[in-house]
Amino acid sequence: MSRQDQVDLLKRLLHYVDTRTTAMADSPWRNEVSVYTCAERLAEEQRVLFRKHPLVMGFGSDWATPGSYSTDDYAGLPILVVRGRDEKLRAFLNVCRHRGAKVADGCGSARVFSCPYHAWTYDLAGKLAGIPDERCFPDVRSERNSLVELPLCEKYGLVWVIPTADGTASFDIDPWLGGLGGELASYGFGSWSFYDRRVIPETMNWKIVVDTFNEGYHIGFLHRDSLRDVLMGNVNDFEAFGLNHRLTFPRRKLERLKAEPEESWDLMWNTSMVYLLFPNTVLIVQGDHVELARVFPREGRTDRSVMDLGLYVPKAPVTAEERAHWDKNMQLVLDVVTGEDFPTGRSIQIGLTSGAQNHLVYGRNEPAMIHYHQSMREALGLRA
């Protein structure tokens, strides 16, 4: 974000604080309860959002050197991402071309991938390298000479994959970002380091997990013993970028800026910024570090989800003191999100399936909720 945009955003937040207001939608919006409970709706989300839209896979630095690889099945498909000897990052369906076993497991560093079943091997560019007793497979190598590749984009220090094989190996993320690219670039995530990760399975719809990060209305209440002393409740700046958005939460110390010269104002230290990278990724800029939450439905059920939460830092820690600082931050987000937000999310899922009502209502002070769910309707081709 440019320096001027940062100052303008801080000025908007100070104005909201002074006038006891917040970014507002034009009117409240009612969303159907079935969005969170209907199996057909989930099937449509999986068919469209988790197949045809780019999904964030992580920071580019997760695959730091040639041979670095990771695998996951979150999107409902086994995906392998690996950095080649040419430094290029590639994504493949993690499916052996012999009889379909996974060729790689977990994450780590590899020189080749050898299928555990019959040891067909693949190089880091996905090419089929070896078939034991190949005379038994005449003409097969020419017909299936590599893993099936998925389109991948590494840009702004982040990595996206579209989980549908269409014969292409890459795509440009910019048309999907609605103008957010320059702002993402300004953080310089390309040189950041992974610090820690948690995989958190939940018993609520995956969109309730995302909704956790979509408004600040609840901070003064649900988080009265944790975040209320740090963040102001019910005060947010909101900006949409196509289907994506940025929601900025002012820290309580923001008011001190009024007594300080504008040149010294620091956006990151005085706010928490939540970027929603449509459809399922939440990138939270927290002063001196970033949390990346990737959220998926689980087990094909409307009331099952999983959040993969990673903590990234500008520089890999070298001292015990630095590690203690990042550990404390990881624990803080876990305490708040899994200790306070998610129990409420579980109760919401139960409430939604109770039949108490057909619609939920998002207030004018919840513009990111409205934008997110209207964006989803648009992406699914539903009427606005």
Residue ranges that bind ligand FES, judged by CB under 6 A? 96, 98-101, 115, 117-118, 120
Report CA-CA distances (Å) from 159 to 4, 28, 39, 66, 205.
28, 35, 30, 16, 25
Q: Is the separation of the CB atoms in 231 and 272 below 8 Å? A: yes
Query: In the bound complex, which residue of the shown chain has the CB atom lying closest to Fe ion?
Result: 341
Task: Name the residue nearer to ligand FES (CB basis): 64 or 119.
Answer: 119
Instruction: With CB under 5 A as the rule, give the number of residues binding Fe ion.
Output: 1
* Token reading at 130: 């070896």
Residue 85's binding partner among Fe ion, ligand FES, none (Cβ under 5 to 8 angstroms by kind) is none
Task: Name the residue nearer to ligand FES (CB basis): 120 or 241.
Answer: 120
* Token reading at 28: 């409240």
Full DSSP string of 106-157:
SEEE-SSEE-TTT--EE-TTSBEEE-TTGGGSTTHHHHS-BPPEE-EEEETT
Task: Name the residue nearer to Fe ion (CB basis): 67 or 363.
Answer: 363
Query: Quick one: the chain helix, strand, coil %, rounded to 5?
Result: 35, 30, 40
Residue 330's binding partner among Fe ion, ligand FES, none (Cβ under 5 to 8 angstroms by kind) is none
CA distance 18 to 370: 25
* Token reading at 203: 């018993």
| Minimum separation from the CB atom of position 339 to Fe ion (A) | 10
Q: Of 78-86, 169-177, 256-264, 335-343, which segment contacts Fe ion by CB under 5 A?
A: 335-343
Task: Name the residue nearer to ligand FES (CB basis): 120 or 275.
Answer: 120
Task: Name the residue nearer to Fe ion (CB basis): 72 or 341.
Answer: 341
Residue 35's binding partner among Fe ion, ligand FES, none (Cβ under 5 to 8 angstroms by kind) is none
Please select the residue that binds Fe ion; options are 45, 72, 215, 341, rule is CB under 5 A.
Answer: 341
Report CA-CA distances (Å) from 192 to 56, 214, 256, 314, 318.
16, 25, 29, 4, 14
| Minimum separation from the CB atom of position 121 to ligand FES (A) | 9
In the complex, the residues that contact Fe ion under the rule CB under 5 A are 341
